[in-house]
Amino acid sequence: MSEAAVLAIALAGGLDVLVGEPPNRLHPVAYLGRLVGPVDRAWSRPRLVGALAAAVIPVLAGSLAWLVVAGALRAGWLAGALAAGLVLFSTTSLRALVETAREVVEVADADPDRARERIPALVGRDPETLSPGELRSGAVESAAENLADGLLAPLLAFVVATRFATAFGATPALAFGAAAAAWVKGVNTLDSMLGYRSKPVGWASARLDDLVMAVPARVAAVAIAIAARRPGAVPDARSWAREPPSPNSGWPMATLAVALGVRLTKPGVYDLNPGAPVPDRETGARAVRTVAGAGVLSMLAGGVMAWP
């Protein structure tokens, strides 16, 4: 089954390179968002409703992935690998993230209105108040942070769950890996839609996401440091990694800031590596390339980990 897991990772990575994001009308995460949508309203007991949503919705996503891959495996390991690859492709993303961040970095000076139009795809802050340097900073920060939840978290879940299922004799192991990736994507989606201080219904989703992302965020920081050829950037970034409100997102962002010698800032919230300048066009582009390289390294490492 290890060959099937490696093939699934290769298929997911290849489709990301060739296709990027699936069309929204076909994207499973878009349907997952529609499932979360009705939860996002006022409730008399919002924390209870939010806890139920956090318990149920990711399990539904994982169960559907398990059924799809387990069903495909009945036709043979190759069909199962293809199904698992499609699940992993739908739960991971690198090309769309890199392309959007690169565009914002490139046009922030020459066409800041275009950059402000594109950056909401990456960050939630008000783009109208951002300078060109702050627009580039936001794009670079998002690229680093989303490397963790957009790629590494579901990839790690897939590899680890497949390996554990194989080791403990749970079958079909590949279906457990796909289910784990989909479950993690469900957790991330809930947090992205509900996990705000202004939304009591999102409290459980946010806490669950904090727990799930603890390891992937730190692995993303290591991948960024290796891609930037600055392995010492991770310990050097420790003093700033805890500045963002999230206990995890600061690790890849601060590591990238230190590795490239740039300041990454969200005005009024955090200031990472404050003694350095905000990224200019050249360093911003290098930062995006570093994240892309870290993503490729992560996929390759995932393939190696999946092999016996």
- Residue 194 has a pLDDT of 94
Q: Is 250 left (phi over 0), alpha (psi -120 to 50) or beta?
A: alpha
* Mean pLDDT, residues 209-223 taken together: 98
* Mean pLDDT, residues 284-290 taken together: 97
Which of 87-91, 210-214, 242-246, 285-289 is least confident?
242-246
DSSP 183-212: HHHHHHHHHHHH-STT-GGGHHHHHHHHHH
C-alpha span between 153 and 180 (Å, rounded): 10
pLDDT in tens, 72-89: 999 999 999 999 999 999
pLDDT in tens, 220-230: 999 999 999 99
Whether 307 has a pLDDT exceeding 90, the answer reads: no
Q: Are 141 and 284 in contact (CB under 8 A)?
A: no
Which positions ≥6 away from 194 have C-beta within 8 Å? 36, 39, 40, 50, 53, 201, 202, 205, 206
pLDDT in tens, 38-59: 999 999 999 999 999 999 999 9
Residues in the chain: 308
Q: Are 156 and 303 in contact (CB under 8 A)?
A: no
Going by pLDDT thresholds of 50, 70 and 90, the confidence category of residue 205 is: very high
DSSP summary character for residue 117? H
Going by pLDDT thresholds of 50, 70 and 90, the confidence category of residue 1 is: low
DSSP summary character for residue 21? S
Hey, what are 30's tokens? 């878009």
- Residue 250 has a pLDDT of 96
- Residue 87 has a pLDDT of 97
pLDDT in tens, 252-281: 999 999 999 999 999 889 999 999 999 999
Going by pLDDT thresholds of 50, 70 and 90, the confidence category of residue 61 is: very high
Q: Share the mean pLDDT of the chain.
A: 94
- Residue 144 has a pLDDT of 97
